Structure formats: structure tokens, C-alpha cells
Amino acid sequence: MFETFTAAPPDAILGLTEAFKKDPNPHKVNLGVGIYKDAQGKTPILQSVKRAEEQILKSETTKNYLPIDGSPEYAAAVQELLFGADHEVISSHRAVTAQAPGGTGGLRVAADFIAKMMPSATVWLSDPTWPNHPSIFKAANLKVAVYPYFDAANNCVNFAAMLDAINKMPAGDVILLHACCHNPTGGDLTVEQWRQVGDAVAARQLLPLIDFAYQGFADGLQADTAGLLEMCRPGSELLVSSSFSKNFGLYNERIGALTLVGSNEAAAQTALSHIKQAIRANFSSPPAHGAAIVTTVLRDPALRAQWEQEVTEMRDRINTMRHLFVETLNEKGVERDFSFIAQQRGMFSFSGLNPEQVKALREKHAVYIVGSGRISVAGMTEDNMDYLCSAIADVLQ
């Protein structure tokens, strides 16, 4: 049977890493996948994580299953980090959280939940968005559509067009919003724009689904919740898929969460019962180790302080690379204005390089970026900057 199948194309992002690994060029640079690299080009285990793992290794007594929706201590820690400990959605018990294998796992559970409970809803995605977003919702048999988001000619968010599109969305649809560090463009909304989006989403009776994969990478752990908090209005409902892949460096532990805010506690509990059904049919119950790490770090004041410092260092290094990249391109005589990259936030920016230039970067210089022109700034270092910018200057000629 399998002989009749044709092969699926490689993944737009993870497929690049496979090709990168095979490339023999000693100068090769991977700015494809969004993984943080330190100044030495390594993706180290955070020290706070290592110390938490030592504690867990000594204290854990069982490998028994977690509940379907995961560890309750983890759920509480996630909610506090998302909303702040004193937030009304927590004190009123209208927020519920299910542990999920990474942000992707959280999105897929959300997709299954929406497909079951709101099957006629369309899921609206920003144009452009993370290439896995449409795949996830289509895999759950949901309809997807796009709303305008980025003005590529001017390298900024096209907010008027976005708001106009939201104001035309049918009631009961789902709108996916990137909480911060928009992937792939690096262009975020201002707090005032979030407020207007919150007004429009409420007026149109849309369900916001917030993808929060980069908390702490834009302006700070708390500052980055501003958009999410704008969506939390009295009686409002929302979904949040959050991830600790990036801000804890726990990429391969697959640890994230799906949080649902209902209009009241009873509605939230009813919704949670369906989320649990989706999880049971999908992966039964979540893996434990990543959640144990996150809970241990967030609950221990010394570990938490160390982790917050480590997040700050990662964010600062990325922002330093943004500035160095713009400066080095200038030094190489590149005339095109890339200064917007220094203003953007998070791991990614849209470089504006076209598909031929992306191909030339890869084939001539072994510099790997996503076909859309997205670059992962987090993969730049002082050591690869000169080579990288020479390569870009060459393909722009």
C-alpha cells in the first residue's frame, strides 16, 4: 500500500534544521528555527532548570500518571505567570488550565475542543502567521481564514486593515492573536492597539485564542502580558496556549498549557470537561518532567529570581544582536534600510529577502532562513555576524 504514496514536503521550519545538519560548510549559519543561542552559539540548559532537576531527581517518588489535565500545582503556577496572582480571573475561579505538550500541543487541544463544541466557527489567523497554525486547525477539520496584519512594504503592522477585518468577522468565530513577539514578523501591537482589538473582539462576540509562546522575550515577563490582560474583561471568554519551550529553554521537554477563561466558574468547569476529553483521545495525559521543572522554579524564590535573570539575559542578547545586525549590514555597504529590525521584538523578523535571495543565501553561503524571508535573530552571534552580513550583502547585489 505505502508504495503508492507520494512524499509530503519537508516542514517549512523543522525541515530546514534537517538540511542544515547535513550541510558540510564549516561557516554554515542556521537562522531558521526559533531556538535561542547564547554568545557561543549553543542552546544551553538554564542553570535554574538544572538546579530544579537536581531537586526533582532527589525528591520524586513515583512515575504514576498525572491527571488528564496535568498537575494542579503547575496549572496554578501557569495562571499566576499569565495573569498575575491577584487577577480576577483567578480569584473568581473562571480560569482553568490543562497542561499540554508544548505550545503546539496546547493549540491542538484547543483546535479539537473548538471543532467539537463550535464546529461551524472559522479560525482567523494573521497574514502572515506561523506556518504550523493553519496545519493545526485544518488537522482538526476547522475552517481557517486570514486577516491582514503586516504591511511588508513598510515593515510594520497594518493596524487599520486588521481592525477593519475584525469588525467584519461573524459572531462566534475564533481569532488567533500572538500575545507578543509576532511569529514570523516581529511586529507587535501597542497596548493602545490591544485595547482597540479587545473592544472590537468583545463587540463582535469573537472568541480570542491567544498564542503566547514568547513571554519574557519582548519587554519583560510581566510587560508582555499587557495584550492578554486587555482581553480579560468582566465576563469575557478566551483561550490561551502558552509555552515554556523558549523562556525556560525546555524545547524537547514539550511543556506548555491550554488555559480557558469562562464567563463564570461553572462555564469554565463544563468547558474543561470537554478539554479533558480531547486530551484523553489525543495523548491521554501529559508528560510530567517539564511541568515539575517549571513548578519547582516558579515556586522557589531563589530559583525564580535566577530564572528571571536568565530570561532577561536572553532577551537582552537578542536585542543586542538586532542592533549589531543593522550596524554590520550598514558597514557592509548594504543600502536597503534594515533599521526596522532593531525596533522589532522577539526571536523573529521578516527580512524582506525574496525567495531567490533566500535560496542563494542557502546554496551559496550555507545561511539558512525560512522561505518567507523570516530570520531568527536568536541564532545570530558576534562570531557569525560578519559572515552572515557579507552573505546578505552578496545576495542583495
- Catalytic residue numbers read 130, 211, 246
Mark 150-189 with x for binding to ligand LMR (rule: CB under 6 A) and - for no binding: ---------------------------------x------
Q: Nearer to ligand LMR by C-beta: 37 or 276?
A: 37
Q: Nearer to ligand LMR by C-beta: 113 or 130?
A: 130
Q: Nearer to ligand LMR by C-beta: 254 or 276?
A: 254
The answer for residues whose C-beta is within 8 angstroms of residue 327's C-beta and 6 or more apart is none
- 217 lies in the site for ligand LMR, by CB under 6 A: no
Number of residues written out for the chain: 397
CA distance 376 to 379: 6
Q: Nearer to ligand LMR by C-beta: 95 or 180?
A: 180
Q: Give 81-142 as a DSSP string.
A: HHH-TT-HHHHTT-EEEEEESHHHHHHHHHHHHHHHHSTTPEEEEEES--THHHHHHHHTT-
- 244 lies in the site for ligand LMR, by CB under 6 A: no
Residues 116-155 contacting ligand LMR, CB under 6 A: 130, 132
- 34 lies in the site for ligand LMR, by CB under 6 A: yes
Give the closest residue to 197 by CA, choosing from 234, 151, 232, 156.
Answer: 232
Q: Give how many residues touch ligand LMR by CB under 6 A.
A: 6
Q: How far is the CB of 27 from ligand LMR (least distance, A)?
A: 22
- 33 lies in the site for ligand LMR, by CB under 6 A: yes
Q: Nearer to ligand LMR by C-beta: 132 or 381?
A: 132
Q: How far is the CB of 376 from ligand LMR (least distance, A)?
A: 7
**What Cα–Cα distance (Å) separates residue 274 from each residue in 258, 267, 354?**
12, 11, 44
β-strand partners of 99 = 257
Q: How far is the CB of 327 from ligand LMR (least distance, A)?
A: 25
- HSE, CB side, 13 Å, CA atoms: give it for residue 235: 2
Taking phi over 0 as left and psi of -120 to 50 as alpha, with beta for the rest, 314 belongs to alpha
CB-based closest residue to ligand LMR: 34
CA distance 37 to 306: 18
Query: Which positions touch ligand LMR (CB under 6 A)?
Result: 13, 33-34, 130, 132, 183
